[in-house]
Amino acid sequence: MVDLLPEVLRRWQAVEAEARQHFRCAGFGEIRTPLLETTDLFCRGIGEATDVVGKEMYSFQDRGDRSCTLRPEGTASVVRAALQHGLLSQGAQKLWYAGPMFRYERPQAGRQRQFHQIGVEWLGAESARSDVEVIALAWDLLARLGVGGLELEVNSLGSPEDRQTYRAALVQWLEQRSEALDPDSQARLSTNPLRILDTKNKDTQALLEEAPTLADALSSESRERFEAVQQGLCTLGIPFRLNPRLVRGLDYYSHTAFEITSDRLGAQATVCGGGRYDGLIAQLGGAATPAIGWALGMERLLLVLEASAQADPDGTAAGLVAGSVPDAYIVNRGAQASAAALALARELRGKGLVVELDDSGSAFGKQFKRADRREARWALVLGDEEAERREVRLKPLQQRGEESVIALTAMAAIVETLQTP
């Protein structure tokens, strides 16, 4: 679990601000659910045989002897909240969330035990077009942030019946070759065979090249649906690659599944993952309601944002990554000047300007150096002489311009000068 320091959080907030605006334009409203849920919610919602529930949850007994779990993902909680508050009786719900998730995984680059997701859930979305709209929502957010080098992979997991048929075919095929499977995959053969498709083991991957694929098991209805989704993506000009082995880690997915990966992330390449989960709402006690959503990993997003900023220093990503600079840096020295400087800083900050007040009392030269290092646009100079005359000297630092002296009482004139571009 990691601390987030100001340098990172500046970028973080820039990303969240863009996301917030993006979701608002698409008619998605924010939802915040507790970090803690009953363990049972995830067992029922995500599935006992998944890695997340089987190995990765932070669960404990609370003082009332209830089993609680720090949420490992957002979807189950959002569905629970929607059901609990009767939101679905008001029609389809377009929701987004952002916040920490917890999984007991092996920490490495792009993988933490507390990580953060931004996600959307569209409860009540049924048409193939809604799949396209939701995928576009993710794709366009990443484009809006200026993140490059991304690839969208899509697959169809079909209906539950399609998957049943496929599971049987896959198990039969793999059982004849079970000796060639890695131990993890052997274990999954009886618990969660579809997850074998997702293995990171190279030998098993090679073996799977020959295995029957889900695409062959899709009913004609599921196939038509999937074709409509692909057609929709083509119409919007969103490039994608079909990946018949894309299965996703959680049990509740059906039909469209997708991931957005980056070639800049090494092994932890997936920035965003999502798909349709038509069965989940009924499984959690609601009326059967189709739904689709996605989640993107904030930490991985920031890594690709950084890479995009480096690749294109004039691009959008670079603008988001760049730090903000103070409008003014107050250089001050002497008892009277120091008091006047504090009052000036306070007034200017009250007008919304970013003002740094030098606190060192050191020689003017040193203070100017610091102002330069902070890339402040203006130095406001207050020495005993200026303080005595109730004036401040304004000296442009980053831009060309005239130095000027303004009375401390002429606040409007000071603000106007600082705001000249």
Burial class from Cβ neighbours inside 10 Å (0-12, 13-18, 19+) for residue 176 reads: exposed
Instruction: Work out which of 33, 69, 93, 112 binds ligand ATP, going by CB under 6 A.
Output: 112
- Any contact of residue 300 with ligand ATP (CB under 6 A)? yes
Q: Are residues 124 and 88 in contact, defined by beta-carbon separation less than 8 angstroms? A: yes
In the complex with ligand ATP, the residue whose CB is nearer, 31 or 394, is 31
Stretch that binds ligand ATP, among 232-240, 295-303, 317-325, 383-391 (CB under 6 A): 295-303
Distances (CA, A) of 175 to 184, 189, 197, 312: 14, 8, 14, 50
Which residue, chain included where needed, has tokens 């090249």? 209
- Any contact of residue 99 with ligand ATP (CB under 6 A)? no
In the complex with ligand ATP, the residue whose CB is nearer, 115 or 329, is 115
What are the phi and psi torsion angles at 378 (to 5°)? Answer: -130, 145
Instruction: Work out which of 99, 249, 315, 383 binds ligand ATP, going by CB under 6 A.
Output: 249
Within 10 angstroms of residue 417's Cβ, the number of other Cβ atoms is: 18
Q: Which two tokens stand for residue 343?
A: 């009052």
Interface positions, 174-203, toward ligand ATP (CB under 6 A) = none
Stretch that binds ligand ATP, among 24-32, 82-90, 145-153, 292-300 (CB under 6 A): 292-300
CB 278, min distance to ligand ATP, A: 17
In the complex with ligand ATP, the residue whose CB is nearer, 100 or 212, is 100
Give the three-state DSSP class for 114. strand
Beta partners for residue 101, in sequence order: 115
What are the phi and psi torsion angles at 228 (to 5°)? Answer: -65, -40
- Any contact of residue 306 with ligand ATP (CB under 6 A)? no
Within 10 angstroms of residue 108's Cβ, the number of other Cβ atoms is: 10
Q: Are residues 397 and 408 in contact, defined by beta-carbon separation less than 8 angstroms? A: no
CB 22, min distance to ligand ATP, A: 17
- Any contact of residue 271 with ligand ATP (CB under 6 A)? yes
- Any contact of residue 272 with ligand ATP (CB under 6 A)? yes
CB 121, min distance to ligand ATP, A: 13
Q: Which two tokens stand for residue 233?
A: 């993506």
Mark residues 29-68: x for contact with ligand ATP by CB under 6 A, - for none. Answer: ----------------------------------------
In the complex with ligand ATP, the residue whose CB is nearer, 102 or 226, is 102
Strands (E) across 110-269 are located at 114-123, 150-156, 241-242, 254-262
Interface positions, 320-349, toward ligand ATP (CB under 6 A) = none
Residues 290 and 280: their CA atoms lie apart, in Å, by 8
Ranked by CB distance to ligand ATP, the top (closest) residue is 297
CB 275, min distance to ligand ATP, A: 9
Residues 134 and 366: their CA atoms lie apart, in Å, by 54
Residues 324 and 374: their CA atoms lie apart, in Å, by 10
CB 284, min distance to ligand ATP, A: 18
Instruction: Work out which of 68, 70, 73, 208 binds ligand ATP, going by CB under 6 A.
Output: 73
Instruction: Work out which of 59, 165, 268, 336 binds ligand ATP, going by CB under 6 A.
Output: 268
Residue 295 parent element (H or E):
strand 291-297
Interface positions, 359-388, toward ligand ATP (CB under 6 A) = none
Task: Identify the DSSP state of 323.
Answer: P
What spatial distance separates the first Cα and last Cα of the chain, rounded to whole Å? 42
Instruction: Work out which of 105, 184, 347, 391 binds ligand ATP, going by CB under 6 A.
Output: 105
Binding site for ligand ATP (CB under 6 A): 73, 103, 105, 110-112, 115, 117, 248-249, 268, 270-273, 295-297, 299-300
